[in-house]
Amino acid sequence: MGEGAQALAALVGDELAAPFPEAARPLVGEIRRRCGDDPVAAVVFYGSCLRTGTLEGVLDFYVVVDTYRPASASRVLAVANALLPPNVFYLEVETPAGRLRAKYAVISLRDLARGVGTRSLRSHLWARFCQPLRAAYVRDAAAREALVGAAARSVLSALEWILPLLPDAGGAQRVRPAEFWQRAFRETYAAEMRAEGPATIRAIYLAAPERFDRAARAGLEDLAGRGRLACRIEGETVYVTLETARRRRVRRVWPLRRRLAKLVTFAAQIKTAFTFGDWLPYALWKLERHTGRPVQLTARQRRHPLLLGWPVLWQLLRERNLR
């Protein structure tokens, strides 16, 4: 393992090992209980609540499992997860800190390893795993190694796909980490049918700029060591040289990948409507939070949300809040 790979693995490994909020432990315990505990290799905390250090809102988790069937409540859910991972569920738990809300996505170790690679259409996976993560639960050393590998691979996938999209004037390209990461998040959000504004994208980077800069530099050194690019570091400035043919190929292929990824995301959102579990409280809370007005449902809609709750679901999908 080269110096760049070692530095990147150390960076993401330290992040995963950083303390997880004790007040949110009841959420993790309930998630493990729902997934059968034994098949759960890890529970990973990520997203806006991690960035802001708050337990308000909805906490985001990935639940990494050995296989889907033992971790699923039914064979149908297991098949749906295998065909179009991950399944996404909603959870509310009363704790001493008050009611906590969580959204957790269940994915297998195998699908995670595939999903963070450059060949996967699930760019949302490497877009999430290249950001800061916390291991809320890790079963053993093998599971921790798998998480570190997925997080490191995600940084490399982001670099390999996004670097060729950045402006270049021929020859060595000066890479500014802030520009690179914001372009990466803008491109991957666009591939998810989730258009985030510049302020939101900038806030992701500004939440940990030094960390993102270190990750980019370590990833570039790793790729240079693998012969994927040429990299020269002069102080705080990084110069990267890519093969012209490769740059052109990525620029030609990326628009098609983005359209295909949108189709995958759309199918996943439709599936989520059926696998989310008790999605109605989440839908109501999300709509009320974003619109500032209460949402009224009839008693029949509350009793039969999948049959009669489609107006609420449609509004949620239209506003791209089911995520």
* pLDDT, tens digit, 9 for 90 and up, residues 22-44: 999 999 999 999 999 889 999 99
pLDDT reading at 153 higher than 90: yes
Q: Are 8 and 152 in contact (CB under 8 A)?
A: yes
Q: Are residues 306 and 172 in the same domain?
A: no
The pLDDT value given to residue 271: 79
* Exposed / middle / buried, residue 315 (Cβ in 10 Å: 0-12, 13-18, 19+): middle
Q: Are residues 263 and 253 in the same domain?
A: yes
Sequence letter at residue 84 = L
- State mean pLDDT over 284-296: 59
Residue 186 CA to residue 310 CA, distance in Å, equals 30
User: Which of residues 243, 262, 277 is at a domain's end?
Assistant: 277
- State mean pLDDT over 225-242: 87
pLDDT reading at 284 higher than 70: no
- Return the beta strands (E) in 159-259 as ranges: 173-175, 230-234, 237-241
Residue 189 CA to residue 200 CA, distance in Å, equals 11
Sequence letter at residue 164 = P
- State mean pLDDT over 297-317: 59
pLDDT reading at 100 higher than 90: yes
Q: Are residues 102 and 248 in the same domain?
A: yes
pLDDT reading at 315 higher than 50: yes
Q: Which residue did the predictor score with more confidence, 308 or 181?
A: 181
Q: Are residues 210 and 62 in the same domain?
A: yes
Q: 322 pLDDT band (50/70/90 cuts)?
A: very low
Q: 309 pLDDT band (50/70/90 cuts)?
A: low
Q: Are residues 110 and 215 in the same domain?
A: yes
pLDDT reading at 274 higher than 80: no
Number of domains in the chain: 2
Residue 234: count of CB within 10 angstroms of its CB: 8
Q: Are 238 and 175 in contact (CB under 8 A)?
A: yes
Q: How many Å from the N-terminal Cα to the C-terminal Cα in the chain?
A: 36
Q: Are residues 251 and 308 in the same domain?
A: no
Q: What is the C-alpha R_g of the chain?
A: 20
pLDDT reading at 306 higher than 60: no
- Round the average pLDDT of the chain to a whole number and report it: 86
CA trace torsion 6, 12, 17, 18 (10° rounding)? 130
Q: Are residues 268 and 287 in the same domain?
A: no
Q: Are residues 40 and 167 in the same domain?
A: yes
Q: Are residues 197 and 154 in the same domain?
A: yes
Q: Could you tell me the residue range of the domain that residue 312 belongs to?
A: 278-323
How much of the chain is helix, strand and coil, in % rounded to 5? 60, 15, 25
Q: Are residues 114 and 87 in the same domain?
A: yes
- State mean pLDDT over 129-158: 98
The reported pTM is 0.86
List the single range of 60-74, 106-120, 274-288 with lowest mean pLDDT. 274-288
Q: Are residues 177 and 283 in the same domain?
A: no
Q: Are 180 and 130 in contact (CB under 8 A)?
A: no
Q: Are 229 and 223 in contact (CB under 8 A)?
A: yes
Residue 168: count of CB within 10 angstroms of its CB: 17
- State mean pLDDT over 130-142: 97
Q: Are residues 22 and 9 in the same domain?
A: yes
Tokens 């991972």: give the residue.
85
